[in-house]
């Protein structure tokens, strides 16, 4: 299990590994492990706006997918999103601190069934996702021709 000394989960985006930079679309998502659940906080701003004052659904899906990616870091298991199903339960407002959580539901061979939830400050659900991740060999991530983070070299890459 891979964590920093303060319990936070290291940044898992290869392009900004270790630099404390932003996630896709400029979203800052810091995650930590709480029992079996990855928890994090995120605040959307105008860069993620869809309708006026409201986050774009694609940005919401990105945060949920990214929180699920943190679960992979905890598991130290290379996997990719095969299917992501998002239910939007209430408008996600910009400029509000939000809670995110993600967890493993079930593992069946290469198939990782995961779930994630985005909540407002009062923990009211705004969006929830179920996802199928498929465990892949590390070779999968070399297809873009970029160097892989050193930390990934110790991860289990068994796909069985
Ligand atoms: C050692 C170090 C390693 C380091 C690793 C770091 C880990 C990453 C950590 C951090 C990363 C950054 C953050 C991540 C954040 C979010 C993750 C993303 O956004 S990932 C990008 C978007 N996703 C893709 O680009 C996938 C594109 N798709 C593919 O590459 C393939 O389709 C793939 C690998 C997913 C599956 O291809 P196949 O050839 O390996 O497997 P087949 O034979 O098609 O399927 C296997 C089983 O899964 C089912 N399956 C496949 N796709 C399905 C789907 N969409 N829905 C339902 N079932 C599906 C099939 O029906 C089959 O099931 P049956 O074995 O017959 O029971």
> What value of ipTM does the predicted structure carry?
0.89
Nearest CA to ligand 1 atom 62: 111
- Mean pLDDT of all residues belonging to the chain: 86
Check 6, 34, 65, 137 and give the catalytic one: 65
Is residue 124 assigned to a domain? yes
Is 141 near ligand 1, meaning CB less than 6 Å away?
yes
Domain limits for position 123: 14-141
Neighbours of 133 (CB within 10 A): 26
Is 151 near ligand 1, meaning CB less than 6 Å away?
no
Mean pLDDT along residues 59-79: 91
Confidence of residue 16 (pLDDT cuts 50, 70, 90): very low
pLDDT at residue number 32: 87
Q: How many domains does the chain have?
A: 1
Distances (CA, A) of 37 to 84, 92, 104, 136: 18, 22, 8, 22
| Distance (Å) from CA 80 to ligand 1 centroid | 4
pLDDT at residue number 135: 96
Is 12 near ligand 1, meaning CB less than 6 Å away?
yes
Neighbours of 67 (CB within 10 A): 26
Which range has the worst mean pLDDT, 22-31, 79-88, 118-127, 147-156? 22-31
Q: What CATH number is attached to the domain comprising 119?
A: 3.10.129.10
Is residue 159 assigned to a domain? no
pTM for this structure? 0.88
pLDDT at residue number 61: 96
Distances (CA, A) of 142 to 16, 24, 73, 150: 17, 19, 18, 13
**Is 6 an active-site residue?**
no
């Amino acid at each position: 299990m891979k964590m920093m000394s303060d319990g936070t989960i290291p940044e898992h985006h290869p392009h900004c590994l270790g630099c404390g930079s932003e996630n896709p679309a400029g979203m800052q998502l810091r995650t930590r492990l709480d029992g079996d659940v990855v928890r994090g906080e995120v605040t959307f701003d105008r860069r993620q706006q869809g309708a006026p004052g409201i986050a774009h659904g694609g940005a919401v899906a990105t945060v949920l997918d990214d929180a699920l990616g943190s679960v992979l870091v905890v598991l130290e298991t290379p996997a990719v999103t095969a299917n992501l199903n998002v239910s939007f339960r209430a408008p996600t407002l910009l400029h509000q601190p939000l809670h995110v959580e993600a967890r493993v539901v079930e593992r069946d061979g290469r198939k990782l069934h995961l779930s994630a939830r985005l909540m407002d400050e009062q923990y009211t659900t705004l969006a929830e996702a179920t996802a199928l991740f498929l465990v892949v060999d590390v070779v999968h991530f070399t297809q873009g021709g970029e160097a892989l983070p050193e930390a990934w070299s110790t991860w289990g890459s068994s796909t069985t």
